[in-house]
Structure 1
Amino acid sequence: MAYTLPELGYAYDALEPHFDAMTMEIHHSKHHQAYVNNANAALENLPELAQGCPGQLLTKLAEVPADKLTAIRNNVGGHLNHSLFWKSLKKGTTLQGALKDAIVRDFGSVEAFQAEFEKAAATRFGSGWAWLVLQENGKLAVVSTANQDSPVMGKAIAGCEGYPLLGLDVWEHAYYLKFQNRRPDYIKEFWHVVNWDFVAERFEKKVEHCNCAK
């Protein structure tokens, strides 16, 4: 089953003035599309691995042939990460309820969580992602991954693990047209467009055995 580029569900300019329309269009229609195309090419002769969602595949990278591992890790990872990213963006939502309570419980305050998340995003060397994850012990944690790695890949591969609730893309293609080299400014603007309703739904209704954008 071939992967396809998901629709955003909103216009490219819907996140203005925080995230600009040109960046959103290029990021979605060019960069994400490239990950989809390259993932499908890598999986073309591996139908048994192409079944199901990308989140399931990324938990089974040990089963991937060595000559396909890098391509699948990078491109299926890129597809999964971006699919989650688009759904986690929306203006006008509020952090509240059980998710807010859990953040205060595990980080001390919302402000402390945001500071830790911003640090993870700002200090990720080169390209990668910052994440809020739900760990197996039920606690929340902030982690970061390199390139297009995802926490669902596990600690041995990604250097961390957990169920991703919220991710921020800190590749330069995500912000350079608007923010140039000012990554911290981009990170600050992110808080204005987090879709807390989507994040809360993932937290409260964690989809067992699936890490995709549902």
Structure 2
Amino acid sequence: MMKSEPSRREVVKAGSLGLLSTGAVGSTVLGLAASSGTAADAMAGAYGGNVYTLPPLPYGYDALEPLYDERTLTIHHTKHHAGYVNGLNSTLAKLEAARASSDYSAIKALSRDLAFNGSGHVLHTLFWHSMSPDKPAIPDGLRQAMTRSFGSVDAAQKQFAAATKAAEASGWGVLAYEPIADKLLILQAEKHQNLAFTDTVALLVCDVWEHAYYLKYANERGTWVDNFMKMANWPFAAQRLEAARKAVAKA
């Protein structure tokens, strides 16, 4: 018996980019169900009423002070992230109009905008949950996966920081799960959607677009990344890893 495909709401809630783009953190593990707790809440508010929406932060705008300042976080969430949400909904409306008129003259630009804004929306939603004011420890399951994949937890953290700092121009650092080998990878994403490794699942992401840190850190991207590592929400990454593995086991 063939399995029915999940609804778009289910895929978005799971944190998959597979139906939005082939972005660097795109996952086409259909039916990926979020686990309980933080990971289950990550996509709450990201989609509703048949449109994509700006989700609330999981903490107050001043909760990450002094490492991440209130002004930057407020602008980043209410202006930049909101812009990707609006861009995604606008692009989908234009694609609907193109289908209705059978006019696909702008399909190349619209496809690019879909990938850019859709990936931007999901990455930012994950980014807010990738930081915690509690500075939590790395859970044992994730620690074991990091050691198996990179040799040690220290090596994994150093590679993640180095890759994130070195992302060309505007981009991201991504800790991802690769289900074929059941291992973790560290990726860079340029813009939001470039440098694809299809079918991986993003576990933890760090934004190194200048709007993410420039008001506080100016051109000191490295200092920003070092401080992000102090706020990294490892339990969130561990929950997403567990959810991804369960989804693969059921596939």
TM superposition score category, shorter chain reference: 0.7 to 0.9
Gaps of 5+ in 1: 48-63, 150-156, 210-214
Q: What's the counterpart of residue 160 of structure 2?
A: 117
Aligned residue among 180, 183, 190 for 2:218: 180
1:159 deviates by 3.4
TM-score by length of 2: 0.70
| Conservation of the 8 A alpha-carbon contact between 1:145 and 1:160 | no
| Conservation of the 8 A alpha-carbon contact between 1:3 and 1:36 | yes
Q: What's the counterpart of residue 86 of structure 2?
A: 37
TM-score by length of 1: 0.82
* Separation of aligned partners in 2, 1:159 and 1:37: 24
1:45 deviates by 4.3
* Separation of aligned partners in 2, 1:91 and 1:194: 9
Q: What's the counterpart of residue 134 of structure 1?
A: 177
1:168 deviates by 0.6
Counterpart code for 1:191: M
Higher relative contact order (CA 8 A, sep 6+): 2
1:160 deviates by 2.4
Instruction: Tell me the C-alpha RMSD between the 2 structures.
Output: 1.9
Q: Residues 1-214 of structure 1 correspond to what in structure 2 (within 5 A)?
A: 1-46=50-95, 65-92=107-134, 93-136=136-179, 137-149=181-193, 158-161=195-198, 162-206=200-244, 208=247
Counterpart code for 1:3: Y
* Separation of aligned partners in 1, 2:208 and 2:197: 17
Regions of 4+ moved over 3 Å:
none
* Separation of aligned partners in 1, 2:238 and 2:132: 13
Gaps of 5+ in 2: 1-49, 97-105
| Conservation of the 8 A alpha-carbon contact between 1:27 and 1:174 | yes
Report percent identity of matched pairs. Answer: 39
1:91 deviates by 2.2
Whichever of the two has the greater Rg, that structure is 2
* Separation of aligned partners in 2, 1:172 and 1:116: 21
